[in-house]
Structures are given as structure tokens and as C-alpha cells.
């Protein structure tokens, strides 16, 4: 049996477009001799459909699309497609399903057993789980078909193995039911080290059950999530037979014969096992794909951003140019009375190196007009370069970017990084203004690392100006202002933030490794600035704990408890 792994990029809610994408992919696989084509989880609706699932008629429309698709498949080709469904669940309920289409009709529908309800996942809000996993027989082969989270039973970070009603291990149940081949349809979002975690997870199942494993993952960006693909075909000994491309659509065939899985060489000669890219490349590719798909799927063709001459806006500009092309990126340099000459020069150099549109818009005249205004002018003059005055400059810049955005229909990009957003070193309606926050889940240390990677490896020339990489970071909103006058050194700040955000460690535990007063300052600033982050533009989730839908902290709260020193 020739099986095609179809790593696809659906558009949420576009049932007609997704159906056609599945049909054309099945036709392409059929031309290569495939008998079965496996698609990702919820490929018909796109993942995650969120509260579209609550809209009257949406789930039924997904079922109709699948029924319509079945007779459109090429003769002799079957397909496994993920979709929300009313099939095989009690009346009035919906399931996260996968249907096997063959001979012009839906042969059977599998319902997901384990519904994730942590981090960015909220599937219990919408779906009813199956209580038992069973094999489906196809062409004499017992297929252990299951959906995404069904393979994650017992993994750290999940709760399925400790919640009484969910003490069900679907893989073990499928193995006990005589599965010859495990097939997992997934929409597993990217985060750093996630591809390796998936590989090790599947290998643990194989070591216990001794069956080959197919894992087909979604690819593409949907809102704040980006899906990396990295679909897998693993032999019964755990050998990696095929790894599909990261961050792009891909199609690979494997042959299953008498318990043995064998990869079929690609037509274009590319390797079947795509090598894992370095960390900086993963981050960059995820950011580019996330921005490209956000723009494409939201209907934006061009974007605009402020270019300060600093490292953050330089990296954001490069990502944008890679995502939509340099001719569709518009950069604005907006110097104030406190801007240094090298800032404009660095911004201009960056734009020239990338071939993006560049406009110089000095803001001092606008700044002075505010100072000459009754009442608020008195406030500004009473504390030159004070907090209100610094934020005003950022807001003039933000308004300038938004004017260009509104006039031309360009997506406005905010360029703040995770380190700044964590401690509130950013201005609401100023540098936070925009429709998409490109670097919202990138710590400052990684901004530098990815920028170096671009110059040294990806481009092999100076794209991001060396001075932007080496000069001390500064908002340039006051005389002789540098970030480190207000913030701890970025290596220290980032390390503390990683502990507080991504590992939820206590101040007491982190104070073993960093000055306690610094840890307390960072924790306090992070807690007090939740209100800012609640109003920031959406970004791209890259870490285990990103600001956004997966992290839910109160704004009006008092954090007055103490953790014992033992942590």
C-alpha cells in the first residue's frame, strides 16, 4: 500500500478552498500511485477554528464538505481528512474527527479521545471526546488512526493521565486492538524544541508497541500560532524514514507492506529526511511564515513600520521583506531632537541593503506644537524629557505609522521584543501601535542571535548594519538615554524572565542565581504591566509560554504572597 503524507496549509473557515486543496493534493498523490492520502487534523475547517465551531451551521457545513469531497477523489484513492463533525457523536454534540473517504463515500469516522485544555488549547469548550480508541480496517490493514493529542498521553505539561475521566491511553488501546500501523493526524503548533519532542514522543510509543508510525502535521500560520509541519514516517524500530520539510507544504510517499514501512524517493531528488535547522534558523523561518500567512490570510499585501536604526526594527524589517518581498515593505525613519545621527544613517543603510521603501519624517515640529499647547504644554515643559514627554514622542511615531497604514491599507507592524513587553519598557499607542507584533515572543538575546545568523549564514553579507548590532540599545527619547540605565543587563533580564514566564519559577528560587532585588524588580514590573500586554497587537508564539492566548494573568490584582526559600 502506497501512503502519501500530505502536509498542508489550510485557511481557517475557508471550507470551499480547503476542500479544493485536499482534492488537488489527492490527485497529485494519485498520479504517483498513492492508495491512501493522509491529511492533517481539521484540515477542512483549518486549525484552530475557535468559536466558529459555536456558530450555527458551521459543523454541519464541514460534514457536508467532507461528504461532497468523497466522490471527487480520483478513482482508487482514499483519503483521511480531519474535520469538525456531528458524525459518531451523540446528537447535539460535536467531535474533532477524522474521516476515511473511499469509493465515493465516507467509510468511517474516528473521534479524538484526548482534548487538550491547556496553554493555547481549549478543545473541551467545543468537542465531546471519544471514550475508547479502535482500529479501522483498510485494504486488510488494521490502522491505528488517532488525532494529535491522543499521542500525548502521559507527557509532562498535559493533564490527561491525572484527570480521572481521561485516564485513557489511545495508543495503548489501539495496540491492544491489533493495530498494524499508527497514523496520527495533527495540528501541533511550533515552539522551540517541539519537533524534537514529537520525535522522541513517537519513538517511545514505538519502543513500547513495536509498530511503525506516521505523523502528519499542519503547516502555516493562523493568528498567533505557526505550525511547522515536520511530519514524520518512523519504522517499527524507530528509524526516521522521512521527515517532511519545516515551515512549508510538502508531500512524501511511503510503502507499507506486511508490517514494514519503506520510504519512496522524492521525484525532485531532495532528501527524504530533511535535516533539523539550527535554532536561529527555526526562529527566523517561523517568524517569516507567521507574518506571511497572517498578511495573506487577512488580506494584506503590504506593510509599514518605523525604522529607528536599532536592532529590533532592523530584524522586523528583514522578516517583513522575506515574508512579502522588499517592494511591499515601507520603512519610516522618524528622528526626534534626541535622535543621534547614526540612527538615521543605520536605518537608511538597512533599507538600502534590503531594497525596501524608505521615508524620512522628522517629528520635532509636531513635538514642539504639543509643547506650545495650553495645559498639556505646561505639563511637558515642566519636566523636559520626562515620562510624559518620552511617551509623547513614541506616540507621535505610532500615529505617523498608523496614518500611512490607514491611507494605503498597509499592515502596521509593531517591533517591540518580549524582554521589553515583559517589563513594560514600551509605550501604549506608541511603539506598541500596530496590527501585528512581529517580535512579541522573541527575547532580546534572540533578536541579536537571529540578526547575526542573517548576516553570517543566511545572507553572507551585512544586511543588518554592524553598528545596530554593536551600539548600546537606546530608545533615544531623552538625552544620553540607554536601555541599561533603566533595565538590568539584557542577559540577566532575559534569564530571569525565562524563569518567571516559561518555567513559572518563584522569586525565591531565582534569587539563588541572581541578585534578589533584581529578581523582585523584574517580577514587580512584569506583574504591573499586564494591562499593557492585554492591549498589544497579536504576535507569533515561539516559546512554551508566550504573551497572548496561552498566558492568562489578572490585571487588577495584588501579588503579595511569598514563596518559601526552598522554592
User: Domain spans of the chain?
Assistant: 2-270, 282-478+530-534
Contact 313, 397 (CB under 8 A): no
Among residues 62, 113, 148, 317, which one is catalytic?
148
Nearest C-alpha neighbor of 330 from the set 420, 405, 239 = 405
d(C-alpha 95, C-alpha 115), whole Å: 10
Beta-bridge partner residues of 144: 182
Residue 308, C-beta contacts closer than 8 angstroms, at least 6 positions apart: 333, 334, 343, 347, 415, 476
- Mean pLDDT across the chain, nearest whole number? 94
Is residue 188 within 8 A of residue 216, CB to CB? The reply is no
Contact 438, 415 (CB under 8 A): yes
- Chain segment 398-445, per-residue pLDDT in tens: 999 999 999 999 999 999 999 999 999 999 999 999 999 999 999 999
pLDDT over 90 (residue 475): no
Given a contact cutoff of 8 angstroms between Cβ atoms, the answer to whether 315 and 347 are in contact is no
Residue 93 designated active-site: no
C-alpha cell at 124: 473541551
The rounded Cα 210 to chain-centroid distance in angstroms is: 33
C-alpha cell at 397: 511615531
Confidence (pLDDT) at 267: 87
Alpha-carbon dihedral sign for residues 496, 498, 500, 504 = negative
CA distances from 201 to 84, 138, 152, 156, 206 (A): 26, 26, 7, 11, 9
52-546-463 Cα angle (round to 5): 110
Confidence of residue 567 (pLDDT cuts 50, 70, 90): very low
Active-site pick, 62, 112, 476, 532: 112
Residue 377, C-alpha cell as written in the block: 504644554
Identify the band that residue 552 occupies on the pLDDT scale cut at 50, 70 and 90: confident
**What pLDDT score was predicted for residue 168?**
82
What separation in angstroms does the CA of 169 have from each of 115, 172, 364, 526?
A: 12, 5, 64, 39
CATH class of domain segment(s) 2-270: alpha beta
Q: What is the pLDDT of residue 484?
A: 84
**What's the half-sphere exposure (Cβ side, CA atoms, 13 Å) at 131?**
4
Q: Which of 118, 126, 176 is nearest to 149 (CA)?
A: 118
Provide the grid cell at 202: 513517537
For 2, the grid coordinates are 502506497
pLDDT band at 163 (very low <50, low <70, confident <90, very high): low
May I ask the CATH class of domain 282-478+530-534? alpha beta
- In degrees and rounded to multiples of 5, residue 62 shows phi and psi of -65, -45
279-295 pLDDT tens trace: 999 999 999 999 999 99
> What percent of the chain clears pLDDT 90, i.e. is strictly above it?
86
- Supply the pLDDT for residue 372: 93
- Quick check: 349 pLDDT over 80? yes
pLDDT surpassing 70 at residue 165: no
Is there a common fold for 2-270 and 282-478+530-534? no
Length of the chain measured in residues: 567
Which of the given ranges, 5-9, 128-132, 342-346, 480-484, has the highest pLDDT on average?
A: 5-9
CA distance 204 to 389: 58
Q: Which of 41, 280, 282, 302 is catalytic?
A: 41
Q: Which residues contact 303 (CB under 8 A, 6 or more apart)?
A: 295, 320, 324, 328, 329, 330, 410, 411, 412, 413, 436
- Please name the helix (run of DSSP H) or strand (run of DSSP E) that holds residue 198, with its range, or none: helix 194-209
Name which of 343, 312, 509, 347 is nearest 421 in CA terms.
312
Asked if 148 is an active-site residue, the reply is yes
By C-alpha distance, which of 53, 183, 187 is closest to 116?
A: 187
Amino acid at each position: 500500500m502506497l501512503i502519501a503524507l500530505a502536509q498542508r496549509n489550510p485557511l481557517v473557515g475557508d471550507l470551499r478552498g480547503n476542500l479544493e486543496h485536499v482534492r488537488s493534493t489527492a490527485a497529485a498523490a494519485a498520479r504517483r500511485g498513492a492508495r491512501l492520502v493522509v491529511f492533517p487534523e481539521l484540515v477542512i475547517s483549518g486549525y484552530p477554528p475557535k468559536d466558529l465551531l459555536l456558530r450555527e451551521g458551521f459543523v454541519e457545513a464541514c460534514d457536508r464538505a467532507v461528504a461532497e469531497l468523497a466522490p471527487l477523489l480520483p478513482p482508487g484513492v482514499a483519503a483521511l481528512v480531519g474535520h469538525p463533525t456531528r458524525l459518531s457523536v451523540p446528537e447535539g454534540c460535536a467531535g474533532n474527527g477524522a474521516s476515511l473517504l473511499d469509493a465515493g463515500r465516507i467509510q468511517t469516522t474516528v473521534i479524538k479521545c484526548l482534548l487538550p485544555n491547556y496553554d493555547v488549547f481549549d478543545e473541551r469548550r467545543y468537542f465531546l471526546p471519544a471514550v475508547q480508541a479502535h482500529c479501522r480496517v483498510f485494504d486488510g490493514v488494521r490502522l491505528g488512526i488517532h488525532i494529535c493529542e491522543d499521542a500525548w498521553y502521559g507527557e509532562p505539561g498535559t493533564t490527561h493521565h491525572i484527570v480521572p475521566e481521561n485516564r485513557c491511553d489511545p495508543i495503548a488501546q489501539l495496540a491492544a486492538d491489533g493495530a498494524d500501523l499508527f497514523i496520527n493526524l495533527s495540528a501541533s503548533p511550533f515552539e522551540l524544541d517541539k519537533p524534537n519532542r514529537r520525535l522522541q514522543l513517537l519513538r517511545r510509543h514505538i519502543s513500547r508497541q513495536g509498530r511503525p508510525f506516521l505523523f502528519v502535521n499542519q503547516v502555516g500560520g493562523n493568528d498567533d500560532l505557526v505550525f511547522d509541519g515536520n511530519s514524520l514516517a518512523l519504522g517499527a524500530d524507530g528509524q526516521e524514514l522521512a521527515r517532511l520539510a519545516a515551515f512549508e507544504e510538502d508531500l512524501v510517499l511511503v510503502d507499507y507492506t506486511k508490517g514494514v514501512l519503506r520510504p519512496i524517493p522524492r521525484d525532485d531528488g531532495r532528501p527524504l529526511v530533511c535535516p533539523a535547522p539550527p535554532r536561529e534558523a527555526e526562529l527566523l523561518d517561523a517568524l517569516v511564515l507567521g507574518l506571511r500567512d497572517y498578511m495573506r490570510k487577512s488580506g494584506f499585501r503590504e506593510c509599514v513600520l518605523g525604522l529607528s536604526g536599532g536592532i529590533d526594527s532592523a530584524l522586523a524589517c528583514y522578516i517583513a521583506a522575506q515574508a512579502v518581498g522588499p517592494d511591499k515593505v515601507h520603512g519610516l525613519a522618524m528622528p526626534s531632537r534626541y535622535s543621534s545621527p547614526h540612527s538615521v544613517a543605520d536605518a537608511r543603510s538597512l533599507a538600502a541593503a534590503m531594497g525596501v521603501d524608505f521615508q524620512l519624517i522628522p517629528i520635532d515640529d509636531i513635538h514642539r506644537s504639543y509643547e506650545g499647547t495650553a495645559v498639556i504644554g505646561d505639563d511637558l515643559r515642566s519636566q523636559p524629557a520626562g515620562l510624559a514627554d518620552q511617551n509623547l514622542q513614541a506616540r507621535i511615531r505610532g500615529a505617523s505609522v498608523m496614518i500611512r497604514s490607514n491611507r494605503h491599507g498597509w499592515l502596521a507592524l509593531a517591533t517591540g521584543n518580549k524582554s521589553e513587553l515583559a517589563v513594560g519598557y514600551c509605550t501604549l499607542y506608541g511603539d506598541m501601535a500596530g496590527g501585528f507584533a512581529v517580535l512579541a515572543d522573541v527575547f532580546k538575546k534572540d533578536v541579536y542571535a537571529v540578526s547575526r545568523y542573517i548576516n553570517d549564514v543566511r545572507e553572507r553579507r551585512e544586511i543588518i548594519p554592524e553598528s545596530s548590532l554593536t551600539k548600546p540599545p537606546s530608545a533615544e527619547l531623552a538625552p544620553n538615554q540607554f536601555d541599561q540605565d533603566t533595565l538590568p543587563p539584557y542577559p540577566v533580564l532575559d534569564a530571569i524572565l525565562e524563569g518567571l514566564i516559561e518555567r513559572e519559577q518563584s522569586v525565591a528560587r531565582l534569587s539563588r542565581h541572581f541578585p534578589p532585588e533584581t529578581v523582585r524588580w523584574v517580577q514587580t514590573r512584569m506583574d504591573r504591566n499586564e494591562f499593557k500586554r492585554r492591549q498589544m497587537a497579536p504576535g507569533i508564539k515561539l516559546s512554551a509560554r508566550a504573551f497572548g492566548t496561552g498566558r492568562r494573568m489578572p490585571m487588577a490584582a495584588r501579588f503579595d504572597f511569598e514563596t518559601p526559600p526552598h522554592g
